[in-house]
């Protein structure tokens, strides 16, 4: 018995592997993604190294007593890993985390909506997730800037910091209809989205009336604009109504080239009004064109 105890003690001193036991492996607790590093081993002979995590699994044959070298591509996905070095029935275990590298390399930028009316307050939202070059979310705060540029080149800027990898902003839509660009930037990485800013509701509607052929009155609006001076899009419905002798007739006309035009029966003394949506225009008391 004493001899066997001596042999076991000697084996323990020479080799870190003791049958049926686990001991620690000297991995750094935290590895920045894409870092080149190495892990020392002791003992002699061959062993198998497993590195296991939900993001990555590796297996390597290693020679005990030599360092295990890891290249930048070996462990580049952030996450918790368990390393197991096995030789025969013995194993050493370590646990470590791979964390994102600190430099932003990619932004996931979601801008909403992609189309909206001009001059709306806090109507455009932008959300940015910041990733490193391996696609790991960078959790350390990053300085972000957002810029919304309308079709005339007028800019709105907003600075924000990311928290736990995400930053966001709300901005007003611009005054000018057309294509706007919405850009997000972190360090020297930027992403741009296109937003269509469309005219708002008509601001005012002015119509004029003149006699037409065969007892008709011709009604025509001035160019219909929103409150920022943008032409309201063609196709917007304008309603002309004529009230006469207790009856009312209405004609709905789409805007064409910015104006709406129609004809109604000419009834001297009729009241003619114009509207689009909830916006009322002027009213005319038709005198027959006299």
Partner 1 sequence: MNGPQSRVCLVAAMVLANASLVLVASAGPTVRVDPMNSVGPRPVEEQTQSSILRDYLASWQALNKAMSENRSDLLDAYFVGQAKQQLTDTVREQTNIGIRTAYHDTSHHISVLFYSPEGLSIQLIDEVEYEITIRKGEQLVAARSVRTRYVAVLTPTESRWKVRLFQGGA
Among 15, 35, 97, 241, binds partner 1 (CB under 8 A): 97
One of 35, 37, 64, 93 touching partner 1 (CB under 8 A): 93
Binding to partner 1 (CB under 8 A) within 218-277 occurs at: none
Size of residue set near partner 1 by CB under 8 A = 41
Q: How far is the CB of 78 from partner 1 (least distance, A)?
A: 5
C-alpha–C-alpha distance, residues 134 and 234, integer Å: 48
Taking CB under 8 A as the criterion, the residue among 8, 11, 110, 237 binding partner 1 is 110
Pairing status of strand 225-226 against strand 261-265: unpaired
Nearest Cα residue to 186 out of 139, 142, 223, 155: 142
Q: Which stretch binds partner 1 (CB under 8 A): 51-59, 172-180, 187-195, 210-218?
A: 51-59
97 backbone φψ class: left, alpha, beta (φ>0; ψ -120 to 50): beta
Backbone angles phi, psi at 89, to 5 degrees: -95, 10
22, 145, 222, 241: residue in contact with partner 1 (rule CB under 8 A): 22
C-beta closer to partner 1: residue 9 or 161 = 161
Give the 3-state secondary structure of residue 166.
strand
CA 48 to chain centre: 44
- Using CB under 8 A, which of 45, 80, 88, 141 touches partner 1? 80
Structure tokens at 255: 């805007």
The C-alpha angle with vertex 222 and arms to 173 and 172, in degrees rounded to 5, equals: 5
Q: Does 165 bind partner 1 (CB under 8 A)?
A: yes
Closer CB to partner 1, 156 or 243, in the complex? 156
Among 37, 116, 129, 227, binds partner 1 (CB under 8 A): 129
> Least Å distance between CB 122 and partner 1?
9
Quick one: 269 exposed, middle or buried, by C-beta within 10 A (0-12, 13-18, 19+)?
Answer: exposed
**Choices 86-94, 204-212, 217-225, 276-284; region in contact with partner 1 by CB under 8 A:** 86-94
Is 79 an interacting residue with respect to partner 1 (CB under 8 A)?
yes
Tell whether residue 136 is a contact of partner 1 (CB under 8 A): yes
289 dihedral zone (left: phi>0; alpha: psi -120 to 50; beta): left
116 binds partner 1 (CB under 8 A): no
**Using an 8 Å Cβ cutoff, are 15 and 7 in contact?**
no
User: Cis link prior to 113 (omega < 30° from 0)?
Assistant: yes
Rule CB under 8 A: say whether 135 interacts with partner 1: yes
CB of residue 273 vs partner 1: minimum separation in angstroms?
39
Minimal distance, residue 257 CB to partner 1, in Å: 35
In sequence order, what are the residues at sequence separation of 6 or more whose Cβ sits closer than 8 angstroms to the Cβ of residue 121? 172
Instruction: By CB under 8 A, name the one of 52, 187, 225, 275 that touches partner 1.
Output: 52
Dihedrals φ, ψ of 7, to 5°? -60, -45
| Interacting residues toward partner 1 by CB under 8 A | 22, 50, 52-59, 77-82, 84, 86, 91, 93, 95, 97-100, 110, 112-113, 125, 127, 129, 135-137, 139, 163-166, 168, 170
């Amino acid at each position: 018995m004493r001899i066997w105890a001596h042999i076991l003690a000697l084996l323990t001193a020479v080799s870190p592997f003791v049958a049926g036991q686990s001991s620690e492996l000297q991995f750094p607790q935290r590895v920045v993604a894409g870092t080149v590093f190495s892990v020392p081993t002791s003992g002699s002979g061959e062993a198998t190294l497993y590195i296991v995590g939900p993001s990555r699994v590796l297996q390597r044959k290693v020679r005990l007593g030599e360092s295990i070298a890891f290249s930048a591509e070996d462990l580049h996905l952030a996450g918790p890993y368990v390393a197991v070095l096995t030789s025969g029935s013995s194993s050493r275990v370590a646990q470590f985390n791979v964390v994102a590298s600190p430099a932003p390399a990619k932004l996931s930028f979601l801008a909403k909506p992609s189309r909206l009316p001009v001059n709306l307050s806090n109507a455009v939202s932008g959300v940015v997730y910041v990733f490193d070059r391996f696609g790991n979310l960078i959790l350390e705060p990053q300085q972000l800037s957002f810029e919304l540029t309308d079709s005339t080149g007028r800019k709105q800027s907003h600075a924000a910091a990311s928290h736990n990898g995400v930053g966001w902003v709300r901005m007003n839509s611009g005054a000018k209809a057309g294509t706007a660009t919405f850009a997000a930037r972190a360090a020297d990485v930027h992403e741009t989205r296109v937003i269509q800013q469309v005219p708002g509701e008509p601001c005012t509607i002015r119509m004029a009336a003149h006699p037409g052929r065969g007892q008709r009155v011709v009604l025509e609006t001035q160019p219909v604009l929103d409150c920022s001076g943008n032409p309201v899009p063609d196709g917007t419905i304008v309603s002309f109504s004529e009230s006469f002798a207790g009856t009312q007739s209405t004609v709905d006309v789409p805007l064409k080239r910015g104006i709406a035009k129609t004809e109604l029966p000419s009834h001297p003394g009729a009241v003619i009004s114009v509207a689009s949506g909830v916006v009322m225009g002027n009213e005319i008391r038709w005198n027959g064109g006299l």
